């Protein structure tokens, strides 16, 4: 067992925006899809590293509700990689006692992908180590919109009264129900924005942005982010 992170306090929940696959490929004169392929290899390794370092929850933004705007060719390649990745994930999760959960609107995917998602969630549901949350066809605004819709349906069925709605009620209708809010958000490739990620859930997360392109990300980079997180003073609006 490794212990490089043993002097660091691991965040309970790390949210990750994996960005820069296209730029990584461009730098090498390769097609964007080559960057996505390498990005998958990196992701597999990071899931294993995070699980071994004792991270409780790792939530990774893999495909946003806005990413459908990309060319049919790129979206197709991403879907193909996702299919392949879901199969491999069953083994990675089993080897590392990882529980897998998907957030986002899965209804827009092809049937076999939906089945793949269902399968990996079902096969890993009793694992007791890290929870790996994959955000695909995920958008923070879409998450909140779908939650509002379901809350209104519950109201109509008299299962919920408007006056009883608290922040906890709203949280319980989001895709992340039951998952603690992220302590640390890491974004690779230097962009200073949220790109519609976990808008509600990131309210008090510490933010770490690195210029490292996602395919080049590593356990060392992860530990750098955690080390910086350890220096932060979290006040949550207090003094
Ligand atoms: C992140 O890499 C992966 C996805 C958003 C699917 P990008 O594809 O956004 O890479 P850049 O930002 O163009 O470099
Ligand atoms: C955010 O990256 C979405 C994912 C990493 C899945 P984008 O590359 O889509 O974000 P923008 O377009 O630069 O904001
Ligand atoms: Mg990008």
Q: Strand 57-64 vs strand 13-17: parallel, antiparallel, or unpaired?
A: parallel
In this predicted structure, the answer to whether residue 4 has a pLDDT above a threshold of 70 is no
Residue-level pLDDT at 6 = 73
- The arithmetic mean of pLDDT across residues 56-69, rounded, is 98
Using the Cα atoms of residue 35, residue 38, residue 39 and residue 40 in order, give the sign of their dihedral.
Answer: positive
| CA end-to-end distance (rounded Å), the chain | 39
SS3 83: helix
Task: Say how many CA atoms lie within 13 Å of 19 toward its Cβ.
Answer: 20
The pLDDT confidence band at residue 1, using thresholds 50, 70 and 90, is very low
pLDDT digit string, tens, across residues 167-202: 999 999 999 999 999 999 999 999 999 999 999 999
Mutate to test the pocket of ligand 2, among 82, 191, 197 (most ligand atoms within 8 A of CB): 191
Q: Is 193 in the pocket of ligand 2 (CB under 6 A)?
A: yes
Q: Is 18 in the pocket of ligand 2 (CB under 6 A)?
A: yes
Tokens of 215: 């395919």
pLDDT digit string, tens, across residues 208-239: 999 999 999 999 999 999 999 999 999 999 98
Catalytic residue among 21, 49, 67, 95: 67
Return the closest-CA partner of residue 16 out of 232, 171, 189, 143. Answer: 189
How many helices and strands (H and E) does the chain possess?
7, 6
pLDDT digit string, tens, across residues 91-139: 999 999 999 999 999 999 999 999 999 999 999 999 999 999 999 999 9
Q: Answer whether 86's CB lies under 8 Å from 65's CB.
A: no
Residue 194, Cβ density class (10 Å: 0-12 exposed, 13-18 middle, ≥19 buried): middle
SS3 44: helix
Catalytic residue among 3, 19, 97, 142: 19
Domains detected in the chain: 13-139+181-229 (3.40.1180.10)
Query: For the chain, what is the mean pLDDT?
Result: 97
**Residue 109 DSSP class:** S
């Amino acid at each position: 067992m490794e212990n490089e992170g043993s002097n660091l306090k691991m965040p309970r929940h790390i949210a990750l925006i994996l960005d820069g696959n296209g730029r990584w490929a461009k730098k090498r004169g390769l097609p964007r899809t080559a960057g996505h392929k390498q990005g998958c290899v990196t992701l597999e390794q990071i899931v294993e590293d995070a699980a071994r370092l004792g991270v409780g929850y790792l939530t990774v933004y893999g495909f946003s509700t806005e990413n459908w705007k990309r060319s049919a060719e790129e979206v197709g390649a991403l879907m193909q990689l996702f299919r392949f990745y879901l199969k491999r994930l069953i083994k990675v999760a089993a080897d590392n006692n990882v529980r897998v959960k998907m957030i986002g609107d899965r209804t827009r995917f092809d049937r076999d992908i939906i089945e793949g998602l269902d399968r990996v969630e079902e096969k890993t549901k009793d694992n007791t180590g890290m929870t790996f949350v994959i955000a695909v066809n995920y958008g923070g605004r879409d998450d909140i919109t779908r939650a509002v819709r379901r809350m209104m349906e519950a109201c109509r069925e008299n299962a919920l009264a408007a006056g009883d709605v608290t922040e906890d009620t709203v949280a319980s209708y989001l895709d992340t129900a039951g998952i603690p809010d992220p302590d640390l958000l890491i974004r690779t490739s230097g962009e200073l924005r949220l790109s519609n990620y976990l808008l509600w859930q990131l309210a008090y997360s510490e933010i770490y942005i690195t210029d490292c392109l996602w395919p080049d990300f590593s356990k060392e980079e992860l530990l750098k982010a955690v080390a910086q997180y350890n220096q932060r003073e979290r006040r949550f609006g207090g003094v």
